[in-house]
């Protein structure tokens, strides 16, 4: 069964290793263990320049971000959860209200069983819910195959992992993309959701 794991940045230190369906819970500041998957897309959002911050820090090809919101900018400090490639925890990405969604284009060409991990924090007046959908045709976003796709955002940095293993159409797909839609507090004149260290890990085909 596919599951969403929530890891609070103030959680008690513990470790677990799950080989297949989900990433392991981790202590604050530690990487989420993707098992035998390899990193194919990654955003650390450490840049301050808004013209650069949306560019992937690492990609196997074709990754990108689009958004519907008042505007985006850098926020400091970022999170130390799910850092990769020896990166430092510097900035995060702030998506300001009024906001609708943020979409991660994450092609899986040559890969299967993608695992999507994002770290999120909200301001006191930011969106309280994130709904995850995906597309296999580049146009229509759906939630089929996900047993849970709505997460509650916290005022502390929190990591969530969504396992797309076994879902029809997501493997070896150049059109695969994941959308996070905002609700409950996303339509105000102030407030924001903040994201950091977004990753997709997958297994070679």
Percent of the chain exceeding pLDDT 90 equals: 82
What would the two tokens of residue 103 be? Answer: 């979409």
Residue spans of the domains in the chain: they are: 4-204
State in words which class domain 4-204 has: mainly beta
Cα separation, 188 vs 186, in Å, equals: 6
Q: Does the structure show a pLDDT above 90 at 16?
A: no
Q: What is the pLDDT of residue 32?
A: 65
pLDDT category of residue 23 using cuts at 50, 70 and 90: very low
CB-based contacts of 4: which residues, under 8 Å, 6+ apart?
A: 148, 149, 151, 160, 161, 162
Cα separation, 132 vs 170, in Å, equals: 14
Q: Does the structure show a pLDDT above 60 at 11?
A: no
pLDDT per residue as tens digits for the range 146-184: 988 999 999 999 999 999 999 999 999 999 999 999 999
How many other CB atoms sit within 10 Å of the CB of residue 205?
Answer: 11
pLDDT category of residue 78 using cuts at 50, 70 and 90: very high
pTM score of the predicted model: 0.85
Q: Does the structure show a pLDDT above 90 at 25?
A: no
Q: What is the pLDDT of residue 33?
A: 79
Cα separation, 116 vs 167, in Å, equals: 13
Cα separation, 8 vs 97, in Å, equals: 24
Q: Does the structure show a pLDDT above 80 at 14?
A: no
pLDDT category of residue 200 using cuts at 50, 70 and 90: very high
Q: List the single range of 99-103, 118-122, 146-150 with lowest mean pLDDT.
A: 146-150
Residue 130 pairs with which residues in a beta bridge?
151, 182
Q: What is the pLDDT of residue 76?
A: 97
Q: Does the structure show a pLDDT above 90 at 91?
A: yes
| 126 Cα distance to chain centroid | 17
Cα separation, 80 vs 9, in Å, equals: 9
């Amino acid at each position: 069964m596919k599951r969403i794991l929530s890891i609070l940045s103030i959680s008690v230190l513990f470790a677990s290793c799950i080989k297949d369906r989900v990433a392991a819970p981790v202590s604050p500041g530690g990487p989420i263990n993707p098992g035998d998957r390899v990193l194919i897309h990654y955003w650390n959002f450490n840049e301050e320049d808004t013209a650069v911050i949306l560019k992937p820090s690492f990609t196997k090809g074709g990754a990108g971000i689009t958004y519907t919101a008042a505007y985006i900018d850098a926020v400091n400090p970022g999170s130390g959860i799910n850092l990769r490639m020896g990166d430092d925890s510097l900035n995060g990405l702030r998506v300001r209200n009024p906001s609708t969604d943020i979409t991660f284009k994450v092609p899986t060409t040559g890969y299967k069983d993608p695992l999507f991990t994002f770290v999120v924090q909200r301001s006191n007046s930011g969106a309280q819910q994130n709904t995850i959908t995906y597309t296999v045709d580049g146009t229509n976003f759906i939630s089929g195959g996900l047993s849970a796709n709505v997460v509650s955002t916290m005022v502390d940095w929190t990591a969530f992992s969504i396992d797309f293993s076994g879902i029809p159409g997501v493997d070896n797909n150049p059109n695969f993309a994941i959308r996070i839609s905002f609700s409950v507090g996303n339509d105000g004149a102030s407030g924001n959701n903040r994201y950091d260290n977004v990753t997709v890990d997958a297994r070679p085909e």
